[in-house]
A = this chain, B = another copy of it.
Amino acid sequence: MKKVKIPEATIARLSVYSRFLNRMEKNGVDTVSSGEIAKGTASNSAQVRKDFAYFGGFGKRGVGYDVIDLNRNIKEILGLNKEWRAIIVGMGNLGKALAYYHGFSTRGFKIMGLFDNDPQKIGEKIDTLTVQDDQVMEKFLDNNEIDIMILTLPAEYTQAVVDRVEGKGIKGILNFAPTVIHASEGTQIRNVDLAVHLEVMSYNLTHSINKEQE
């Protein structure tokens, strides 16, 4: 629908800005400048303004941005004014960590179900949820409207799980396994590979690349 294509990097930064603004809100700050946002998020002021400009003007010249107002706008842009309902499949350590992770729930992502195929894990209580047998996952998806599936299982099992939920209303898949998965047209897939970060760091350290964080 949008005329101009918005860089994904801009979207990612909006997400970071928003978390910074949350902190400002909590601290009772009511106005910030693009420069302050930049400093708090390892960006630069021109970038910050440019990012906002894609969506219109949120600030007042000579003054800055109203923290609450700006944050509300960003959240709306990001689609965080609705509640997203997710399940986590694979209750290994990472799955558990994400199930407990408050950084998701406080941003509008509600974990509705946890699944695993390991009898030892099934029945285990994690926060307010109980790990379910992954055999009942399809039925669960029929009875509950779930938007997002978070995959935290070994690479070799991921595609099978994706195939099983085909047509069950899952709109997005966040895949932590280091493997490419295929889903039907229109299902949003995002791969998160935690090792990449360490390996890029390894590269930078090895070649003494000083990435300034200013």
Supply 20 further A-B pairs (C-beta < 8 A) apart from A148-B198, A180-B213, A188-B209: A1-B208, A11-B203, A11-B204, A12-B196, A15-B196, A16-B193, A18-B199, A19-B178, A23-B155, A39-B180, A42-B180, A77-B203, A79-B202, A93-B101, A94-B101, A104-B198, A109-B198, A109-B202, A172-B201, A174-B197
Residue A195 contacts which of B8, B15, B82 (CB distance < 8 angstroms)?
A: B15
Residue A78 contacts which of B42, B80, B206 (CB distance < 8 angstroms)?
A: B206
How many copies of this chain sit in the oligomeric assembly? 2
Over the window 75-105 of chain A, the binary record of Cβ atoms lying under 8 Å from chain B Cβ atoms (1 yes, 0 no) is 0011110101010000011101111110110
**Which interface class (under 10, 10 to 19, 20 to 34, 35 or more) fits A?**
35 or more
Contact status of A147 and B97, CB under 8 A, knowing A107-B195, A178-B103, A198-B84: no
